[in-house]
Structure 1
Amino acid sequence: MHQSNRYLSLILLAGFACSQPQETTHSVEADSTASKYSHAPLVEHIYTADPSAHVFEGKIFIYPSHDTETEVAEDDMGSHFDMKDYHVFSMERPGGKVTDHGVALKLEDVPWAGRQLWAPDAAEKDGKYYLYFPAKDKQDIFKIGVAVSDQPEGPFKAEPEPIDGTFSMDPTAFQDGDDYYLLWGGIWGGQLQWYEDQKLVEGRNGPTEGLPAPDQKALMPYIAKLGDSMTDLAEKPKEMLILDESGEPIKAGDNARRFFEAAWMHKYNGKYYLSYSTGDTHFIAYAIGESPYGPFTYQGNVLDPVEGWTNHHSIVEFQGKWYLFYHDTQLSGKTPLRNIKMAELTYLPDGKIETVKPMK
């Protein structure tokens, strides 16, 4: 075969393969192929990160971001995380086959977006599925959008504009009975430090301009109840206060405990658990409150630092057991090229979470 024709055939074959559902198997136990890791990658044929897991239709569905090779230079604003689409994955049971349902949403199909489809999440209401996602708009400012589908795996159709009243990134959808909430926020590349009173301050740029002084209250994530349509907010967003053991807000200089990004909420024994990444100290920390609005009191760490700079997770119950989903860089050894994993989560009698160790 002529070399150019052979190359074209390989490209076409690869494209066909990526468009079809793909299945892999995995274990939630120790990874026997690499002894230093506690858990095996769920997906190996593409790079995935920031896994948001939910139980829909009796299966676990995972909504991660999709890492790809890029020529964009690394910087503290995360420009090298240059994602351009989303894949949705499902599994009928932990340890079983993981199905890649293919591309669920592409950057070019989001009318308002300019670049960087970062960590998404999903929700279901009345048989409709909603994919919440951050992207930078044409002015390079992060907004949160929503796309809708009739099935959990998509494909999803994006609304023409971002959700009014949202800003920053890392949206998380949380259902509490008949109520649905959206949480979001992230500093440095997430641009939360560029806002005051939920309004963008002109002229701020870079990862640290606008951050509070170390002895001041840290920036916190935001929450708002979703409207009946699930595509708008029903109220003005509220700050979610994270407090220390003495009831004081966590300080900006408390890097091992303060909020950085990746807020997630779940409910256990009537309590609301807010978990989040501490960013430059690389923990997944958690705090507990009596209401989805908080305040929340810091308790400790869900997950110790992983291999790679970033840390992002989700927590879900499935058939009476709880699972943590997270990512590391086992497959590539490179921070912008990550792979998702899962581990069983253990609650202690006092309601605290036993810290997961991603490395042996």
Structure 2
Amino acid sequence: MPEESIENINFDALNAKAISQPLVDHMYTADPSAHVFNGKIYIYPSHDIDAGEAFDDLGSHFAMEDYHVISMDSITSEAIDHGVALHVNDVPWAKEQMWAPDANEKDGSYYLFFPAKAHDGIFRIGVAISNSPTGPFTAQPEAIKDSFSIDPAVFKDDDGSYYMYFGGLWGGQLQRWRTGQFNAEQPDSPTAFLPEDHEPALLPYVAKMTDDLLEFSEKPKEIELLDENGNLLLAGDNDRRFFEAAWLHKYNGKYYFSYSTGDTHFICYAMGDTPYGPFTYAGRILNPVVGWTSHHSICEVENKWYLFYHDASLSKGVTHLRSVKVAEITYREDGSIETLDPYRD
């Protein structure tokens, strides 16, 4: 439900129809990355604030400064905010805009992966480490070498390999990397350098991580997202093409790559046989929510699967003040996922 359609919404009625309610309401949270560590749910969201920045299509009003970690003993238990886990002032290479993070665990250490604008105005991806899933986290002094754009998601495969998925259009700068180098021309245009509608859409990236989870072990590769005929999705296919919010999970031996379509506000997914893809478009997981953005994660909890997502209903539609929610998802016998409507009729 894009921002331009919210003016006449009765938010009390809308919230009454919502399939889930905000997990926390004392602050605004978004972009939830959920994991189960040691039998407990941990959620790594963005922390939305109103910094007074002007609204624009580069996302300048998303001026987040820090990360909090939320934990839950079970899917129905109270969500606990553990306070500031990492602040931009404690990241030597970062200047601003601590956007959507993710986390993972290896050998008893916990790794927070996060994008931020460096002092040169270019989004990079960094890593911070803690001995606790709730932090506090200590950032590495430099961003990951050869990292770029936004929305890192780190998936651990069954063989113990870790892969990072990332990328985002418009303010996420992915379109500025089409030549392999950052294109700084037309800095105020979110749509400069996008492909034409009849051309293949820009693709997200994947890179296997080094054993210490601090760097890429290979040059990032584009992830092919295909239509039902085996062709790359086109840039003009706004209802299906990738925009941001990459996520990967595995179910019954299949890899599910899910993502946001951005300006059309769907969470979609595609299926493949390897962590590198290719992935064939398979449908929608979530229909549009109140607020411009849609960003999610998918996590198994006690043999059930859940979609963690956000909307802006608590802030009455303020685009950059969102709230994390959770809803159960259902797989059909063929492995496809039933589409969720975030608000009941």
| Same fold? TM cut 0.5 | yes
Letter in 1 for 2:113: Y
**Among candidates 84, 104, 117, match of residue 103 of structure 1:** 84
Partner of 2:338: 354
TM-score by length of structure 1 reads 0.90
The equivalent residue for 1:64 is: 45
C-alpha contact (below 8 Å) 2:206/2:223 kept by paired residues: yes
Structure 1: unaligned runs, 5 residues or longer: 1-30
Residue matched to 2:175: 193
- Can you list the C-alpha shifts for 1:233-273, whole angstroms capped at 9, x where unaligned? 10110000100000000000000000000000000000000
Separation in 2, partners of 1:113, 1:57: 31
- The 3-state SS of whatever aligns with 2:263 is helix
Pair 1:179–1:32, CA change in 2 (3 A)? farther
RMSD, aligned α-carbons = 1.2
Structure 2 residue identity aligned to 1:86:
Y
How far, CA to CA, are the matches of 1:244 and 1:158 in structure 2? 39
The 5 A counterparts of 1:138-149 are 138-149=119-130
The residue number in structure 1 matching 2:9 is none
| Residue number in structure 1 paired with 2:288 | 305
Residue of structure 1 equivalent to 2:210: 227
Tell me the SS of whatever aligns to 2:309. strand
| Range that drifts further, 305-314 or 33-42 | 33-42
Preserved contact between residue 195 and residue 201 of structure 1 (Cα < 8 Å): yes
Distance 1:293 1:199 in 2: 23
Say whether 1:256 aligns with 2:231: no
Residue deviations 1:62-111 (CA, integer Å, cap 9, x gap): 00000011211000000000000000000011111111111000010000
Pairwise CA distance, 1:32: 9.7
The Cα shift of 1:356 comes to 1.0
Number of aligned positions between the proteins:
330
**Cα separation, 2, equivalents of 1:47 and 1:269:** 35
Amino acid of the structure 2 residue aligned with 1:141: I
Q: Which of 111, 130, 146 is 2:111 aligned to?
A: 130
- Conserved in 1, the CA contact under 8 Å of 2:47 and 2:68? yes
Task: Assess if the C-alpha contact under 8 Å between 1:194 and 1:204 holds in 2.
Answer: no
Determine which of 242, 256, 266 is the counterpart of 1:273. 256
Q: Residue 329 of structure 2: which of 345, 348, 352 is its match? A: 345
Structure 2 spans left out of the alignment, 5+ residues: 1-11
Q: Please name the residue that 1:117 is paired with.
A: 98
CA drift at 1:57: 1.5
The structure with the larger Rg is 1
CA distance in structure 1 between the partners assigned to 2:268 and 2:148 by the alignment: 23
Letter in 2 for 1:72: E
1:108 partner SS: helix
Deviations 1:273-297 (A, max 9, x none): 0000000000000000011100000
- Per-residue CA distance 1:301-353 (angstroms, 9 max, x = gap): 01000011000000000110000000001110211100000001100001000
- Higher RCO (CA 8 Å, separation ≥ 6 residues): 2
Post-superposition shift, 1:204? 4.6
| One-letter identity of the residue aligned with 1:49 | A
Does 2:274 correspond to 1:291? yes
The 3-state SS of whatever aligns with 1:155 is coil
Whether the aligned pair in 1 keeps the contact of 2:14 and 2:343 (CA below 8 Å) is no
Identity %: 59
Amino acid at match of 1:348: R
